[in-house]
Structure 1
C-alpha cells in the first residue's frame, strides 16, 4: 500500500480534454443548479437556527471548494437536510461559536479520513444504518416544521429540542393555528408536487417560492391580510459576504464538542460518498473517494470561518446537475458563482418569502429523504438487519443523531463479528483424512490414517477473539485427553491477540497434561504474528508443519517413540 496521499481533484484531470461545447453545457447546468440551490440553502439555514444568508454562504464557499478540489466530476456541495437537527442542537447548547468550532473540527477529521485513505472503509457502513438515520432525520425535520406549517404560537413557552417534547407542546397549542399560514404551506406543497408533471427542468421549490411569495405580497398589500410571517419579519438579511473570522479555541469546548464533530464528519463522509457513488452509476464514471473526503474537509474548515454551517455532497442537487447536462466540476463552480451574484444583488427580495412556504419546501425535502418504500422493503430482511434499522431510526428520532450513529455502528460491528463467527467452522477429525476433500495433501493415497490417540482440529476462518472462545468451548465439550492434538490452520487468514492468548493457554494446559501440540498449514501472515508474539518459543519451531502430511508424519513419529 502506497504512503502517498491520494489527492487527485477531478477538475485538473478533465481540463486536458475540455472543450467550448463542454463549457456551454456546464454553464447552463451550473446556472440551473444555482437557482435550484437557492430556496434549499435559505430553508436549511433557517431550519438549522441560523440566518438565511448563512445557508447561501455555505453553498457558495463549500460548494466552490468541493467542486474545485473534489474527487467527483459532478458532485454539488452545500448545506443539506441531514445536518439540520445536529446544527440546531449545537446552537441551542453552545451558540454560533460552538457550531463554528465543531464544524472546523469535523473538517479536520474529514481531511484526516482522506489522508489515511478511509474513503473505501466508509462505504462499508451497513445500509440499514444509513436508511435508519436518514429516515429518522426526515421525521425530525418534518417535526421541526409543524409550527411554521400551521403558524402556531406558544405564548412565551419554549419549544423543547426533543421529538416527544415538541409534539406535546404542539398538542397543547394547536388551538392557535393560523389558517392563512396553513393555506400558504399546503399551496406550496401542492405546487412543488405537481411541477414535475409540467416541467422536469424547473424545480418545484423555486416555482412555489415565486408564486406563493407574490400571492402573499398581494394579499398583504391589497387584501389587508398581515398575519402571514415572512423571512423579513424574523431576520435582518445581510446581502454581503462576511469577513473571515477564526474563532478562539477553548479546550473545554473542544472536548465537549468532539463527539458532535465526529458525528458531523461521519455523516458528511457517508452522505458525500453515497451521493458520488449514485452519480457514478448515472454518468458511468468513478470518483476518487479519498480526494472527495479531503475536499469535503477543506470545505468544512473554510466555510465556518466565513460564517457558514456544515456542508456535504447533496444528492438532489447533484442529480439536478447531471440531468441538466453537467459533466465536470465547472458546473459546480458556476453554481457557486450564481449564488454569490444572487446574495450580492437579489438577497433583499428574500425578505418577502413566507416562512410557511419554506416550511412547505422542507416538508417535501423530509418526504423525499424518508425513503419510506426502502424502509418498508428492509423490514422484510433478516431480523438482525431489521433490528439495526429500527434501533438507529428510533434513536435518531427520540434522542439525537450522535447517539444513533454511535449505537448503530456498535450494533453493526457486533452483528458483523457474530456473522464471521457463524461462518468460521471448527471441526474435529479422529480417524482418517480423505485426500479427495483436501487441497494441501501432497500424496495420492485413498486416505491419510491418523494414529490412535491423535486428533485433528480444523479451523476454517479467521481466528479472532470470538472464535477463540468458540474453540475453547469445543475443547471443553469433548472432555477427552488425546496424546497429540494437531491444530490445522491452513484456512486461517489472520489471528488476533485473543487468538494467540487462546493458543498459548492451550499449549500450557496441554503440556501440563502431557498432550503434544502440533500446528499445521500456518500461512506466512499468521506465521509472522505468532513468531513476533514469542509463541514459537513455547511450542518449539519443530512443531510447526507446513502441511498436514508433515504434521501426521510427526504424530506417527511421536506415537512410535512412546
Structure 2
C-alpha cells in the first residue's frame, strides 16, 4: 500500500530499541558503559529473582532462569532501550494462585499463553491504549499486591512451621495465626538484621546495591547461628533438585536447559495433561498476566524515557515482552516483565543500549553456574525481609493515602475496591472489576458533558418562523449519552412543524446515537414534523446518508449553517401551506 495511505498498516519493528541505539553510534566507550551497568544490575537481579520465585511458590532457580532467558530475549526484541526484564513483585499475586492450583507446569503454560496475547497486542498496535488505564486502578492493585506479598512472607520471616499457604488471603491469615506459637526467635533475628541492613544501607550513598549487602549480612548472621548449633532455614535446606540423574540441595549449578512446559509437574507432582479444560481454566489468569505485563512494561518504559529523554516504541516493546514470555517457559522460567527499580538502576549506572540488559542476564547465568553453592546458604528469613522492602515500595503508601484524601469520591471508590479485591480475592478479579468500574465512571462523566437545550431563535441571529424549534446539542453522542440528549426533543410544542438540531458541537456519533436519532425522526415524521440537521461533520453526515434516514418516513435534510436551515424551513412551510 502507498506510504501516505491514511489506513496503511505499519508493522511494528521488533528490536527497534537495539537498532536505534546502533544508529546513534555504538562505540567501545558505550559498550563499556553497558557492561558496567549490566554488572551492577546483574548483582541486584540475583537475590531479587530468587526471592520473587520463592514468593510465587516455585524453587528459586526458576526466577534466575527468567532473568537469564527472558531478560536477554526481551532486551534484544523489545522497543525500550533501558528496560530490564525478569520476575517482578507485581506478578506474585497472580502467579501464586496458579501454582497452588496447577503447579509449576500450569504456571509455565499460562506464561506461554500470556506471551502469545502480548505479541498479538503488539502486532495489533494496541500499545498506546495501555496509557488509558486509570491511575486509581493501577494504584489500587499495586497497593494490594504489596499487602499480599508481605503477608506471604510472614511464615518465613517468623520461622513458622507447617504453614502451607493457599490462594485465599483470609484463609492464609487464619493459618498464620494458628501457627504463631511455633515462631522461631532465630529466624526473626536473622530477618530483623537483614531488614535493618536493607533500610540503613541506602542512606550511606554507596554504589554497592542494598539487596546484596542485606542478604550478605543476613547470611552471615545465619551462619553464626548455625555455628552455635541453632538451625536456620536456608535455600539449601528448603529446596532440592534433580537433573539428568544428579541431585542436590539449593540451586542446581547448571545453565537453563530446554524442556517443554507441559513436562513440568502440576499441583499433584505429575506432568500436566494438556486439554481444553486446562486451557480454559488458565485463560483468565493468562489474560490478567498479559494485561499487567503490558501495563507494567510500558509504564516502566515511559519512566525510562523521562529519565533519559528518549522515546520507546510501545508496540515493539509489547512484541518483545511477548516473545520473552513465549520462549522462557521452555527453559523453566516463569512470567517476566520490565522491572521499574532495576530499570532505574540501569539508567543511573550509565547504560546506553539493551546490551546492558543482555550483560545482566549473563551475570545471572554466571552466578547460577559458579556460585550456586554459596546461594544455597541464603536464609529464607533474609529473603522474606527483602520482599518486605519490595512490598513496601510497591504499595506506594504515601500516594495511596494522598489519593484517598484528595481524589474525587468516585476515584476513591475505584481505588478502594481494586485494593480490597486484590487483597481478598485475586488480581484477575481486581483488574477486571477495576477497569470495568473506571470505564463506567468515564462513560458517566462523558455523558454528563452532553447537553441538549432549546434556543430562542432571536439569540441566534437567524429569523426562524414561529413554527420552527431550534435545539443545540453539545458533546459526544454515544451509547451512554444518546438517549439522555434526545429525550428532551420528544416533548415539543403542538404548533412546532420543524425541528432544527444544531450539531456543530457534536464531535462524534456512534451507532446507538444513530438508532436513537432515527427513532426520533420517525416519531416526529408520524406527527408531520420535519427535521433539519445543522453542522454535522462530513463523516457523521455520511453516516446519516448511509443509514438511509432521508429516504423513509418524514422530512429530513442536512445543512452546514443555520442560515441554510432557515431557507429550507421556510420552503417546507411554504410547500405545506
TM-score between both structures, scaled by the size of structure 1? 0.94
Q: 1:258 to 1:327 in 2, by over 3 A?
A: same
Please show how residues 34-433 of structure 1 align to structure 2 within 5 Å.
Answer: 34-154=42-162, 158-221=164-227, 223-226=228-231, 228-236=232-240, 237-240=251-254, 241-245=256-260, 247=262, 249-379=274-404, 380-433=406-459
- C-alpha distance after superposition, 1:158-205 (max 9, x if no partner): 434212211122222212111111111111111001111123421111
Deviates more, 1:140-149 or 1:240-249: 240-249
Once residues 534 and 252 of structure 1 are traced to their aligned partners in structure 2, the CA distance between those partners, rounded to angstroms, is 47
Q: 1:433 to 1:538 in 2, by over 3 A?
A: farther
Deviates more, 1:74-83 or 1:514-523: 514-523
Give the unaligned 5+ runs of structure 2.
Answer: 1-6, 241-250, 263-272
- C-alpha distance after superposition, 1:286-326 (max 9, x if no partner): 11111100000000100111111111000000011011111
Deviation (angstroms), 1:467 = 1.7
Once residues 339 and 398 of structure 1 are traced to their aligned partners in structure 2, the CA distance between those partners, rounded to angstroms, is 35
Deviates more, 1:456-465 or 1:141-150: 456-465
Deviation (angstroms), 1:246 = 5.0
Contact 2:522–2:554 under 8 Å retained in 1: no
Match of 1:494 in 2: 508
Deviation (angstroms), 1:533 = 2.6
Instruction: Report the number of matched residues.
Output: 546
Does 2:57 match 1:11? Answer: no
Once residues 41 and 320 of structure 1 are traced to their aligned partners in structure 2, the CA distance between those partners, rounded to angstroms, is 16
Deviation (angstroms), 1:554 = 0.8
Deviation (angstroms), 1:328 = 1.0
Match of 2:532 in 1: 518
Aligned partner of 1:450 among 429, 454, 464 = 464
Deviation (angstroms), 1:71 = 0.8
Give the unaligned 5+ runs of structure 1.
Answer: 435-446
Q: 1:477 to 1:371 in 2, by over 3 A?
A: farther
Once residues 319 and 353 of structure 1 are traced to their aligned partners in structure 2, the CA distance between those partners, rounded to angstroms, is 26
Q: 1:170 to 1:246 in 2, by over 3 A?
A: closer
Once residues 415 and 536 of structure 1 are traced to their aligned partners in structure 2, the CA distance between those partners, rounded to angstroms, is 35
Deviation (angstroms), 1:211 = 1.9
Deviation (angstroms), 1:482 = 1.7
Deviates more, 1:544-553 or 1:237-246: 237-246
Deviation (angstroms), 1:541 = 8.9
Deviates more, 1:347-356 or 1:397-406: 347-356
Match of 1:533 in 2: 547
TM-score between both structures, scaled by the size of structure 2? 0.92
Moved over 6 A (4+): 539-542
Contact 2:111–2:329 under 8 Å retained in 1: yes
Once residues 470 and 57 of structure 2 are traced to their aligned partners in structure 1, the CA distance between those partners, rounded to angstroms, is 66
Contact 2:450–2:485 under 8 Å retained in 1: no
Deviation (angstroms), 1:151 = 0.8
Contact 1:500–1:535 under 8 Å retained in 2: no
Match of 1:444 in 2: none
Match of 2:266 in 1: none
